[in-house]
């Protein structure tokens, strides 16, 4: 019998398991499948994840002060996590938020960095061109540049660090897929029963669900309670560059851009309804194959498609290599980064789990069942703080954050229309 079973062994679930394992006299288990060796439509496997990668942007700033606070709380623990686990996942290369100075993106971000005293340099359009002459941005664009305490993290290694520390503190990690969670009576007390596809039955006093885009595809919540989640499919390009180009761009920060783009940027690239580009770009990163790649993708607000079935989600996760969307992102890399000579490129696909509130759900379904789902594309950098808040909420029924609990309240889909 466990005190807490965390279902979902991604970035949030592994963080929640670690924080719970640090509590005295608490028995914890973490359940989730390992990363597959291959992704194939021919495989019977249906559960995948977006964290099968080497990089995610991390920063303290954000146009939304709530997400900025979550990020800062998590980032404050990065180095301790590395020291305790012995695994290094954080590269402090800096991060740049760029776009028209008077635009909403830059204005809101400036309000956040000012009100929260986030260390940054403001780069006027002239200073931006001087500081990063190899970046092909419009002459009128500026940037909020975090030179320290920002950059990128390796999600695979971060999860490994979380799991290792959790194990060291007695957490049991079970590599399996949960297909059903039910609440049962145990001599007048509540008992949560967790069933896995591998045939295991796990009993726990409380359960936390952190299953991302697959939450609604298994019987994890009580009947009639379906979280309001929208699954947004995104493609990304990884453009291989030479060692020489990687050295030339060694001071390149991570970047998030929202603006009109430059004249040579591909016009048919995914954009917001107002025609603005929304992209992210990471500096040359050495991947396990020994090669350096610049990664580029578009932000989820530029994509209108939604996925609704597990078959659609599996098909998207299993689509790799070169697709039209990947090619467009690769073209954008060469347009934004001057004079690089791409050696090759390939792609990958992920899914952003979007909520109507644009904030993650951290809430109790009932006193013994909680959720931490709906990252909206911002949760990777903040996952340690999200996991901590969720673990404390489910274990003790108390909200342990300066941020208001109402901000993270779970919203359910209105299924009454489906029953007409």
Quick one: which H or E segment has residue 303? none
User: Are 331 and 375 in a shared domain?
Assistant: no
Per-residue confidence (pLDDT) for residue 60, from 0 to 100:
98
Is residue 79 situated within a structural domain? no
- Read off the pTM: 0.96
SS3 at position 104 = helix
User: Are 178 and 325 in a shared domain?
Assistant: no
Report d(CA 151, CA 60) in Å as an integer: 10
- Structural domain harbouring 218: 2-51+156-229+356-419
Is residue 382 situated within a structural domain? yes
DSSP 83: H
Per-residue confidence (pLDDT) for residue 37, from 0 to 100:
84
DSSP 420: -
Nearest partner of 157 among 54, 74, 49, judged by Cα = 54
**Cβ(202)–Cβ(196) below 8 Å:** yes
Which letter, b or e, does each residue of 168-195 get, where b requires 16 or more Cβ atoms within 10 Å of its Cβ?
ebebbbbebbbeebeeeeeeeeeebbbb
User: Are 405 and 329 in a shared domain?
Assistant: no
Per-residue tens of pLDDT for the chain, all 420 residues = 999 999 999 999 999 999 999 999 999 999 999 988 888 888 888 888 888 899 999 999 999 999 999 999 999 999 999 999 999 999 999 999 999 999 999 999 999 999 999 999 999 999 999 999 999 999 999 999 999 999 999 999 999 999 999 999 999 999 999 999 999 988 778 899 999 999 999 999 999 999 999 999 999 999 999 999 999 999 999 999 999 999 999 999 999 999 999 999 999 999 999 999 999 999 999 999 999 999 999 999 999 999 999 999 999 998 876 789 999 999 999 999 999 999 999 999 999 999 999 999 999 999 999 999 999 999 999 999 999 999 999 999 999 999 999 999 999 998 665 544
User: Are 119 and 245 in a shared domain?
Assistant: yes
User: Are 180 and 209 in a shared domain?
Assistant: yes
Per-residue confidence (pLDDT) for residue 319, from 0 to 100:
80
Is residue 178 situated within a structural domain? yes
User: Are 31 and 161 in a shared domain?
Assistant: yes
If one counts every other C-beta atom within 10 angstroms of the C-beta of residue 25, the result is: 5
User: Are 132 and 167 in a shared domain?
Assistant: no
Dihedral angle, C-alpha 72, 75, 76, 82, nearest 10 °: 170
User: Are 195 and 243 in a shared domain?
Assistant: no
Per-residue confidence (pLDDT) for residue 367, from 0 to 100:
96
User: Are 28 and 167 in a shared domain?
Assistant: yes
Q: What is the CATH number of the domain that holds 36?
A: 3.50.50.60
Per-residue confidence (pLDDT) for residue 420, from 0 to 100:
44
Give the angle 401-218-11 at the CA atoms, nearest 5°.
Answer: 40
Is residue 63 situated within a structural domain? no
Per-residue confidence (pLDDT) for residue 30, from 0 to 100:
98
Structure tokens at 370: 């909680």
Count of domains for the chain: 2
Last residue of a domain, one of 320, 354, 388: 354
**Cβ(23)–Cβ(395) below 8 Å:** yes
Structure tokens at 197: 């596809």
Last residue of a domain, one of 314, 332, 354: 354
């Amino acid at each position: 019998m466990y005190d807490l079973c965390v279902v979902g062994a991604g970035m949030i679930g592994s963080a929640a398991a670690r924080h719970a394992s640090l509590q005295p006299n608490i028995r914890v288990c973490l359940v989730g499948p390992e990363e597959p060796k291959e992704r194939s439509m021919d495989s019977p496997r249906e559960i995948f994840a977006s964290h099968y990668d080497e990089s995610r942007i991390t920063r303290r700033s954000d146009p939304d002060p709530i997400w900025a606070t979550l990020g800062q709380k998590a980032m404050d623990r990065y180095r301790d996590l590395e020291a305790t686990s012995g695994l290094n996942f954080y590269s402090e290369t800096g991060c740049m938020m760029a776009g028209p100075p008077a635009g909403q993106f830059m204005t809101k971000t400036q309000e956040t960095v000012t009100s929260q005293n986030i260390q940054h340099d403001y780069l006027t359009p002239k200073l931006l061109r001087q500081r990063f002459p190899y970046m092909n941005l419009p002459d009128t664009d500026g940037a909020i540049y975090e030179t320290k305490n920002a950059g990128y993290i390796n999600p695979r290694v971060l999860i490994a660090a979380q799991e290792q520390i959790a194990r060291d503190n007695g957490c049991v990690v079970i590599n399996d897929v949960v297909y059903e969670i039910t609440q049962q009576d145990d001599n007048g007390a509540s008992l949560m029963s967790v069933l896995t596809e591998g045939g295991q039955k796990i009993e726990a006093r409380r359960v936390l669900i952190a299953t991302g885009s697959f939450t609604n595809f298994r019987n994890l919540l009580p009947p009639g309670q379906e979280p309001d989640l929208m699954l947004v499919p995104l493609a990304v390009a990884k453009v291989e560059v030479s060692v020489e180009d990687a050295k030339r761009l060694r001071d390149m920060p991570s970047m998030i851009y929202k603006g009109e783009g430059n004249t040579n940027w591909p016009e048919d690239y995914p954009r917001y309804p107002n025609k603005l580009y929304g992209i992210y770009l990471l500096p040359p990163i050495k991947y396990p194959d020994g090669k350096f790649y610049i990664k580029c993708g578009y932000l989820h607000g530029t994509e209108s498609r939604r996925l609704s079935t597990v078959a659609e989600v599996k098909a998207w996760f299993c689509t790799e290599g070169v697709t039209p969307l990947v090619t467009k992102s690769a073209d954008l890399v060469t347009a934004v980064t001057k004079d690089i000579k791409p050696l090759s490129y390939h792609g990958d696909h992920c899914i952003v789990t979007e909520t109507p509130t644009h904030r993650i759900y951290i809430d109790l379904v009932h006193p013994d069942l909680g959720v931490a789902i709906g990252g909206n594309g911002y949760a990777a950098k903040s996952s340690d703080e999200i996991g901590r808040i969720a673990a404390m909420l489910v274990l003790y029924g108390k909200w342990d954050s300066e941020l208001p609990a109402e901000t993270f309240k779970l919203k359910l889909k209105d299924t009454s229309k489906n029953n007409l």
